[in-house]
Amino acid sequence: MFSNARLHSKIRLRVNRLMQRAINFARPAPSYRPFTVDQLLNNQASRDLIERFSDVYYKSGAPPELNWRGDTILKNPCDLWMIVELLQRIRPTVVIETGTHRGGSASFYADMLKLIGVQATIITVDLNPKWSFDPADKCIESIVGYSSDANVQNQVRSAVDRALVARPGPVMAMLDSEHSEANVSQELRLVAPFVTLGSYLIVEDTNVNGHPSSPEHGPGPWEAVDKFLAARTDFIADRECERFLLTFFPRGWLKRVK
């Protein structure tokens, strides 16, 4: 049996809770709205801040310290995580990469895709790859040579064809070898035809040659992307992929739209 006082206090508590619920239901949505990437990039003050921080981070020596299972990955964490977001969204069965280095990025893509349940082949090209493990163990096909070499390009084409027969599905690509305009342009010509509708061709290090880093670099990935996009309508630069704000690939996240 409740005493009268306890009963009143319980009823008061219940009524208070109901009133709080009603107030929460009727309360207007908060007026705060996050800025969109476009708003931030089109605003001079915020763009300056983003570019200055990106440049400081680029010069800091932090990027080469990213490590995946003992192997270096030469990217910043925000770009790497955006790639993870795209791997989850696109679920590619074939990933083409130019620029293997120590195999850290290829190993990371292979592990991430396995983790999300996608059986994928990673095809990676480098004139001097430095593997610390057997790439075949992770379904990574290592092609050795200059990406501009006709023989290497034929090896890439047949590796992609073979991989697609074994595992049909979306194809994604990342360009991360030599960052001169001429080299990136020829790599774009090589891999663009394989990138499937809705998927991405990521042109890395578009930040060099003053965009905003390494002004002394000379024409590089940014300039190659400029000409590529001006010449065709099947790819767009998806600036939504810059939403973590720190990126070394400004305008380098190319989405196939046709």
Cα–Cα distance for residue pair 100/76, rounded to 1 Å: 16
Closer CB to ligand SAM, residue 92 or residue 99?
99
Site for ligand SAM in 88-117 (CB under 6 A): 98-101, 104-105
User: If binding means CB under 6 A, how many residues of this protein chain bind ligand SAM?
Assistant: 21
Closest approach of ligand SAM to the CB of residue 33, in Å = 35
> Shortest CA distance to 121 belongs to which of 172, 75, 73?
172
Distance of alpha carbon 60 from alpha carbon 66, whole angstroms: 13
> Smallest distance from the beta carbon of 211 to ligand SAM, in angstroms?
17
* Shortest Cβ 97–ligand SAM spacing (Å): 6
Shortest distance, position 49 Cβ to ligand SAM, whole Å: 26
Q: How near is the Cβ of 51 to ligand SAM at its closest, in Å?
A: 21
Binders of ligand SAM among residues 6 to 65 (CB under 6 A) are none
Nearer of residues 178 and 234 to ligand SAM, judged by Cβ? 178
Residue 146 touching ligand SAM (CB under 6 A):
yes
CA angle, residues 120, 123, 127, in degrees to nearest 5? 160
Q: Does the protein bind ligand SAM through residue 127 (CB under 6 A)?
A: yes
Residue 248 CB, shortest distance to ligand SAM, in Å, is 11
Single-letter amino acid code for the residue at 164 = L
Q: Which residues contact 231 (CB under 8 A, 6 or more apart)?
A: none
Closest CA to 247 of 230, 215, 224, 222: 222
Residue 126 engages ligand SAM in binding (rule: CB under 6 A): yes
Stretches 18-26, 34-42, 121-129, 161-169: which one binds ligand SAM (CB under 6 A)? 121-129
Residue choice 78, 125, 171, 225 for contact with ligand SAM (CB under 6 A): 125
What would the x/- binding string for ligand SAM be over residues 158 to 177, using CB under 6 A? ------------------xx
Before 212, cis peptide (omega within 30)? yes
| Secondary structure E strands in 84-198 | 94-98, 121-126, 140-144, 171-175
Residue 177 burial (10 A CB sphere; 0-12, 13-18, 19+) = buried
Chain positions 176 to 205 lying near ligand SAM, rule: CB under 6 A, are 176-178, 183
Which bin fits 99, alpha (ψ -120 to 50), beta or left (φ > 0)?
left
Identify the CA nearest to 177 among candidates 168, 186, 169, 167.
Answer: 186
Q: Which stretch binds ligand SAM (CB under 6 A): 69-77, 82-90, 132-140, 238-246?
A: 69-77
Q: What residues make contact with ligand SAM under the rule CB under 6 A? A: 72-75, 98-101, 104-105, 125-128, 146-148, 176-178, 183
